[in-house]
Amino acid sequence: MKGTSEKSLRWQVEKWLTSVSALPVHVIEFGRSRWGGGRYAYVATADGARALYFFRHDDGGWSVFPNRTGQMNNPN
């Protein structure tokens, strides 16, 4: 089980982006997804070479994987 700090957006950004680059990072976009209305943040390094979307989950934590409840249903 992950600790609360491991679910924070800051911790996720540091894990995925700052561990491979000494460049500062910036939140480029923040909003709600069209499917399910879940929160997301698009974060990139200052040079734009690396960028990731982060998704907020129902438990308040952030992840690079979308929340299952926010996924579109397959009509088939």
Residue 69, pLDDT score:
62
DSSP state of 58: T
What residues contact residue 10 under an 8 Å CB cut-off, 6+ apart? Answer: none
Going from N- to C-terminal start, the domains of the chain cover 4-67
pLDDT digits (tens, 9 = 90+) for 16-68: 998 777 889 999 999 998 878 899 999 999 999 999 999 999 999 999 998 87
Residue 4, pLDDT score:
67
Quick check: 75 pLDDT over 50? no
Residue 73, pLDDT score:
42
**Residue of 57, 48, 40, 43 whose CA lies nearest to 15:** 43
Residue 31 — φ and ψ, nearest 5°? Answer: 180, -155
Helix, strand, coil % over all residues of the chain, rounded to 5: 20, 30, 45
Decide: helix, strand or coil at residue 30.
strand
